[in-house]
Structure 1
Amino acid sequence: MKKIFNAAFTYMIIGVLSGLFYREFTKASDFPSGEFTQLGLVHTHLLTLGFIVLLIILALDKVFGLSGTKLFSWFFWLYNVGVILTAGAMVWHGSLTVLGDESNAMIDGIAGLGHIALSVSLVLFFLSLRKKVVTGKAVTGKAVTEGAEATSPSR
């Protein structure tokens, strides 16, 4: 769980800094206000995919105890690779747009690999979650039930 928390916190910091970079880089480059660049999307992608989604996964891990499994480990690392590849390609493409250069197929390919990694990792996550949900092994529910039985008065 600590890895998930640290990753979410890191994405929150990087997401906020990417918004600052977008604002300052476009201003310093005299990029026309209102023109589209992918730099403006990096901020929301990192905050949503990196910060918010990982906080939800942290809560699900707390309830179902997912993080000890091999399937979840594969999900976690592949998901992070996907977010980093996708966001990195967006920064690269957006920076080229601001500088007036053309994007190329290589950047699109890297972004595509990032999206594929994200998709595969989410399938792995749902397989990991399904395993715990179907078997009914919620960590919190079991602890609450046992705690209630231990503290209830005997009659």
Structure 2
Amino acid sequence: MKKSYWAALVYLVLGLAGGFYYRELTKAHNFTGETQLSVVHTHLLALGMLLFLIVLALDVTLKISQAPAFKVFFWTYNAGLALTVAMMLVHGTLTVLGKESGPAIAGIAGLGHIGLTLGLAFLFVAIGKALPKPQKETEKPVEEPAEA
């Protein structure tokens, strides 16, 4: 549970820092065009902080962190998000500085997105394992006695 809390907190701080970096870099270079830096802030807050707050709530109610798939989700998802955001920062910074980023940046960012996708798949496996098992159909529900 604490891992999810700390992950959410780290992504909050990184998201705020990402917004600050975008504002200050574009202001320092008088940049007014489109850059991927403008969405680093929201990616970190939504895919990082908000997701891990939701995961924390799921862990409190369903104990999803006890499923073996949770550990795979946690590290795969975080690695994917870190790689994706790092490439957004590199590409966006190069754009502001007026330089080309090349196809390697897009390819590495694609690997980050694959990590995010795999991580989410493992999250759903962990949630599925943690959900309560349905009653067998052969068991009859307990009936309340009829009132006289």
User: Does 2:24 align with 1:24?
Assistant: yes
Q: Determine the structure 2 residue equivalent to 1:60.
A: 58
- Alignment match of 1:36 (pick from 15, 31, 34): 34
TM superposition shift of 1:135: 2.4
Map 1:50-89 → 2, pairs under 5 A:
50-89=48-87
Hey, what's the Cα distance between the residues in 2 that align with 1:134 and 1:124?
18
Structure ranking higher in helix proportion: 1
- Alignment match of 1:132 (pick from 130, 133, 142): 130
TM-score (normalizing by structure 2): 0.88
Q: Determine the structure 1 residue equivalent to 2:119.
A: 121
TM superposition shift of 1:69: 2.5
Hey, what's the Cα distance between the residues in 1 that align with 2:133 and 2:117?
25
Larger radius of gyration: 2
CA deviations 1:115-141 (Å, max 9, x no partner) are 0000011111101111121526xxxxx
In structure 2, the residue corresponding to 1:100 is in which secondary structure?
A: coil
Q: Determine the structure 1 residue equivalent to 2:97.
A: 99
- In the alignment, structure 2 segments of 5+ residues that lack a partner are 135-148
- Runs of 4+ aligned residues of structure 1 deviating over 2 Å after TM superposition are none
CA deviations 1:12-69 (Å, max 9, x no partner) are 001001100000000111212xx11000010000000000011001100111101122
Hey, what's the Cα distance between the residues in 1 that align with 2:55 and 2:102?
34
CA deviations 1:56-84 (Å, max 9, x no partner) are 01100111101122210000000100110
Hey, what's the Cα distance between the residues in 2 that align with 1:22 and 1:13?
14
Aligned-pair identity (%)? 49
- In the alignment, structure 1 segments of 5+ residues that lack a partner are 137-155
Q: How many residues get paired?
A: 134
